[in-house]
Amino acid sequence: MSEERRTLGQTGRLLFWAVLFFGGMGFFAYRVVAIPPKATESPSIEEIRSEKGIPVVPYVVTADPWELWKRFDGPVRPGKEQRSTSLLRERILAVHVDVNDAVKKGDVLIELRAESQAADLSARKADYEDAQREYERQKALLAAGGASQQDVDRAWVAVQQKKALMKDVRSEVAKSRVVADLDGVVTFRNAEPGEAAEGGAELLRIADLKNLEVEVRVPPAEALRLRPGTPARVMVERRLFQGKIKRQDPGADPATGLYKALVALEPGAPLRPGMVVEVDLLVDSRDRVVAIPYEALRRENAKTFVFVLSGDRATRREVEVGEGQGGQVEILSRLYSGDVIIAEGTETLFDGARVWIRPPGDLRESPEGPSELSPDGAP
């Protein structure tokens, strides 16, 4: 009996340890499989920066050729234009052209009735021819001894008088016809056959559309930089057309204080008189200028500065800025060719900050927002 109890006791202990072992293994498996491990937290931006520094993109300063263009707008006008007015108060007999018609120099465009002037011209021409014949007769008589030199001289004076009278009447007759003075296109017409033409009234307008100009008005500071021949350019339908200053008024408009300048464009620009376009004028050009990206500039307490890269540290340096364009601004002092400045990542920099170089264009954390300097470089 005692032997059986001893056997049962041993069996019970084995079962207890087996249950305990397999139960522990099951609990361990549950903890490993069913309950995932706690995620490891990523280091914060501040922790990374404290170890590696602030990520920045450098920019190597160079001195390069510099062109400064200023943009103005103004209306397009023809380089040459003819405005024909009526010089006689006569009825219109014929109009040979209409708006948009192309004409050649010398073409007769409008004819006015000039019957009285035509009759007068015929009479004056007859008088001139009679005087010319009398002069020839007096010369023949002088050669034959039948006239004096005074007779010949009087005949010559009569010829000149009749010629002058005939020329005056012919000029009046010419006023009855409107003739093209240039090659161009009719842009205005105010004449119909049968209507009475009033003296001084504009009847027709012709414009040379192959040679166009743009009239711009510039402030005094820019006017001092411009002169005939100054390069200009205008963008039309994604095409760039060159031009140059043709003429500039010596005095300013009393009402605006601006100076008028005419820009002659190269032939072929698809423009028409009356259109308003933007014109770029070259106001400054130099061989060596230090210019940097606008984004590299910072401003604080009315002072403009950049960060210069010195090893793994950013050093603040105040600079004086000039004019800018195209994302670049001229630096007038305290920055030199060969200096390495920080172009991106300046938002959280401070003097002496540790930095590390990152590829351009990478996303950057910027808790302070954009630079205080505006994109056009103005404080």
d(CA 89, CA 342): 78
Per the model's pLDDT, the better-predicted residue between 125 and 351 turns out to be 351
* 228 shares its domain with 335: no
* 228 shares its domain with 257: yes
State residue 97's pLDDT score. 92
* 229 shares its domain with 265: yes
- When pLDDT is cut at 50, 70 and 90, the band that residue 11 belongs to is low
Per the model's pLDDT, the better-predicted residue between 341 and 359 turns out to be 341
* 292 shares its domain with 346: yes
Residue 334 predicted with pLDDT over 50: yes
State residue 340's pLDDT score. 95
Instruction: Confirm whether 363 is domain-assigned.
Output: no
* 113 shares its domain with 255: no
Q: Report the pLDDT averaged over residues 173-193.
A: 84
Residue 60 predicted with pLDDT over 50: yes
Nearest CA to 325 out of 69, 12, 98, 77 is that of 69
Residue 28 predicted with pLDDT over 60: no
Q: Report the pLDDT averaged over residues 268-280.
A: 91
* 317 shares its domain with 201: no
Instruction: Confirm whether 365 is domain-assigned.
Output: no
Residue 3 predicted with pLDDT over 80: no
Residue 8 predicted with pLDDT over 70: no
d(CA 80, CA 360): 53
State residue 144's pLDDT score. 80
The beta-strand segments (E) located in 237-334 are 239-248, 259-265, 276-293, 298-300, 303-310, 313-318, 320-325, 328-333
Q: What is the DSSP letter of 43?
A: P
Which stretch of 91-95, 254-258, 321-325 has the lowest confidence by average pLDDT?
91-95
* 162 shares its domain with 149: yes
* 276 shares its domain with 296: no
List, in sequence order, the alpha helices (H) in 2-148: 2-29, 45-52, 115-144
Residue 73 predicted with pLDDT over 90: yes
Which CATH number does the domain housing residue 309 bear? 2.40.420.20
β-strand partners of 325: 328
Q: Which of 177, 206, 235 is the last residue of a domain?
A: 206
* 168 shares its domain with 227: no
Q: Which of 264, 284, 304 is the last residue of a domain?
A: 284
What is the H or E stretch that residue 94 is in?
strand 92-95
State residue 365's pLDDT score. 44
State residue 110's pLDDT score. 84
Per the model's pLDDT, the better-predicted residue between 158 and 343 turns out to be 343
Taking each helix axis from N to C end, the angle separating 149-174 and 115-144, rounded to the nearest 10 degrees, works out to 160
Dihedral pair phi/psi, residue 232, rounded to 5°: -140, 160
* Predicted TM-score (pTM) of this structure: 0.61
Residue 215 predicted with pLDDT over 60: yes
Dihedral pair phi/psi, residue 164, rounded to 5°: -65, -40
Residue 370 predicted with pLDDT over 80: no
d(CA 84, CA 181): 10
Cα R_g (the chain), whole angstroms:
47
Residue 15 predicted with pLDDT over 60: no
Task: State how far the alpha carbon of 49 is from the alpha carbons of 22, 54, 308, 356, 360, in Å.
Answer: 50, 5, 19, 9, 18
- When pLDDT is cut at 50, 70 and 90, the band that residue 377 belongs to is very low
Q: What is the pLDDT of residues 120-170, one digit of tens each?
A: 556 667 777 888 888 888 888 878 877 788 888 888 888 888 777 767 656
* 55 shares its domain with 123: no
Q: Report the pLDDT averaged over residues 301-315.
A: 94
Residue 22 predicted with pLDDT over 80: no
Domain of residue 32 covers: 1-40
Number of domains in the chain: 4
